[in-house]
Amino acid sequence: MSQPRLQETLERVFESKDYLPELFGHHDFKAFAVSQGLTIPLHELALAFTHKSFSHEFQVPHQEQLEFLGDSVLQLILTEELYRRFPDYNEGQLSKLRSAIVNGASLATMARGLGLGALLIVGKGEYQKRLFEQESVLADTFEALLAQVYRFQGLDGARTMFFLWLQRFIPAAFDANFLTNFDVKSTLQERVLARYKKLPRYTAEASGEAFEVALWINDSEIGRGIFSSKKLGEKELADAALKKGII
């Protein structure tokens, strides 16, 4: 008979706290550690996945301090690598590239690739809202996990794991075009401002469950489309304008 998955055990905990020890020592954590070559005690690994919403309901420690530590570890690891790879870049260029690589979307991409959402321990209400799928929560959990790698496998271990995951899930992170491709809105903004001395403008109107988004440059409409979110629409329209050479 197969053992219940972690989220099934979490649902049991919502009904009875008796399952708490089973939750924090769950075999899914062990399987994840083995698959990634991690040597982190299971209860410490589980802590990296314990959201504060669960902590508030069941009075157990949560991941927040680990997120803080993991962010610092990540900044150091990546800053050192960028310094080594791009000796001719100035501080502003290095800062932009670092921000592009370790932004919430990038960290969430790696978190999804690793399946971290299936290991997240959240409160009952947040579980029903599927908080474990949200980009910001996944990004925070990735940082908390990296913090535990650092604590138990050292800085070299954290560096090795991070770049292994980065290469696996965002292989173009250090390519010359990565920053432009990632931050298309900022790139478009800089070019439009330099040419017209005014910023590009986006308008959006609800269209059912989606949004009709338009891009305006120098008071002329450049593009329009239907998108699942305003943010996505703005990014896609900016990207299209750059690729068409409009600016």
Q: What is the dihedral of CA 67, 69, 74, 79, to 10 degrees?
A: 140
- Compute the distance between CA of residue 49 and CA of residue 39 in angstroms, rounded to an integer: 16
Q: Which of 67, 81, 143, 183 is catalytic?
A: 143
Q: How many helices (H) and strands (E) does the chain have?
A: 13, 3
Is 28 considered catalytic here? no
Q: Which of 28, 67, 71, 126 is catalytic?
A: 71
Q: Are 184 and 106 in contact (CB under 8 A)?
A: no
Find, among 163, 28, 29, 164, the residue nearest to 85 by Cα.
163
* Cβ within 8 Å of residue 167, ≥6 positions away: 173
Which run of H or of E encompasses 212? Answer: strand 210-217
Is 71 considered catalytic here? yes
Buried/exposed code over 112-126 (b: 16+ C-beta within 10 A; e: otherwise): eebebbebbbbbbeb
Strand-pair partners of 48? none
> Annotated active-site positions, please?
71, 143
